[in-house]
Structure 1
């Protein structure tokens, strides 16, 4: 097999959560271009349909499931339904997440704290547990990619909602633990830790608080934010045979922000 052939994932089915827009959409499209059929989840059916059409335009199958991953019971049931309706799943990208709140630590409520952890961490646990269990049962290995954040390692200034940093740091260690458990079974579990990418959500944030985005960009050695399409090749690598000896790894993609 040639080098470039190792990045092909033809005949595989990938489930990407939070794939209706942003980084999830970019990764789903990249996996489709590399040959995978997609199952994508999100809360908004209209945007899911738009992304699914883009995937089909690349010649791949696309199925959608509207799920609010921030509600643990809905998240759990949604993963089981994806397996039942669209399985088997060969590749899982636990992408869903977000800060969602901006309260200072001293003002954040317990309810708000739990909501952010459920969205970012509990959803990752449930996806890994449910889809990973099916991979173990099939006995053919698999690929799991958990999307954490550079905020697992650094805290942004001028932003509240520190439950986000806590959750994303936990995702990294959960990834390492799952990788250790499942390596003997041919299931790799890795993490992607994005920095600042100019998704629609961050463009909207830039409209409200440009000083926050400006400060972040000022701390990036490359001198710019990332564009969503730049995360796609990393997702393909971790989903493909090219990464067959990579597990438990954390891949920062932040333009060098965490170097300073």
Structure 2
């Protein structure tokens, strides 16, 4: 096997949450291009259909499941629907998450906090439990791969912005990654994390409209002088999803244009 062959995922199946837009879409397309079939989970039926068509154009099979992953019951239902599709899931990307509220801690209602904890953290727990759990102790050489999309906000507190649920949940997701990796290292499943910096997804474009000074301050602190494009995360996700990373587990990969250097 040549080195580039180790990045192929032919015959494998990916499930990605929040997979129809932004970073989720970019990672789904990259891994599909390398040979995987894809299960997309997201809230918006229109964008699910659009991204599914892009994946089919690459010659891959694709299934879509509409669900609100911030609702634990709906999240669990979506995971069980994915497992009911004939064939096994080999790669899980826990991508769904967002900073949906810019509310100071002292003003945040408990119900808002809980919903956002469920969106950013509980969804990853449930998908790891159900989808990742189905990967454990499989016979044969194929290894299960889990990639959790954390954030540099797991490591730092952002300037000029409220809603510290995001930093808290992403930090928890990062340590959940490490702990699960330790538990499952000898059971055939690799668990790693990606910590993106500022990427101009639709969500961040909306932030730029609402609070352009926050985005401008962030970009000014990036040594490369620009935000990332969603497509730039695809190759890193493919590496962690592919046999190229078989000896990598419990690791967190920062992709931020150098923001954390300073």
Shift of 1:39: 0.3
Deviation string 1:200-235 (CA, Å, 9 cap, x unpaired) is 111121122111100000111111000000000000
Give the count of matched residue pairs: 260
Deviation string 1:76-119 (CA, Å, 9 cap, x unpaired) is 11101111125410000000000110001110111111111100
How does the TM-score come out when normalised to structure 2? 0.97
Find the residue that maps to 1:184 and give its secondary structure: coil
Q: Are 1:180 and 2:182 counterparts?
A: yes
Partner of 1:91: 91
Partner of 2:44: 44
Partner of 1:147: 149
Aligned equivalents of 2:170, 2:76: Cα separation in 1: 20
Partner of 2:134: 134
Aligned equivalents of 2:147, 2:92: Cα separation in 1: 6
Partner of 1:229: 231
2:120–2:169: 8 Å Cα contact kept in structure 1? yes
Find the residue that maps to 2:257 and give its secondary structure: coil
Find the residue that maps to 1:65 and give its secondary structure: strand
Partner of 1:6: 6
Aligned equivalents of 2:153, 2:86: Cα separation in 1: 33
Q: Are 1:194 and 2:178 counterparts?
A: no
Q: Alpha carbon RMSD of aligned pairs, Å?
A: 0.9
1:39–1:86: 8 Å Cα contact kept in structure 2? no
Partner of 1:253: 255
How does the TM-score come out when normalised to structure 1? 0.98
Aligned equivalents of 1:207, 1:77: Cα separation in 2: 35
Q: How does 1:92-111 map to 2 (within 5 A)?
A: 92-111=92-111
Find the residue that maps to 1:38 and give its secondary structure: strand
For structure 2, the 5+ residue unaligned runs are none
Match of 1:164 among 166, 169, 177: 166
Deviation string 1:29-78 (CA, Å, 9 cap, x unpaired) is 00010100000010011110000000000111111000100001110111
Shift of 1:195: 0.4
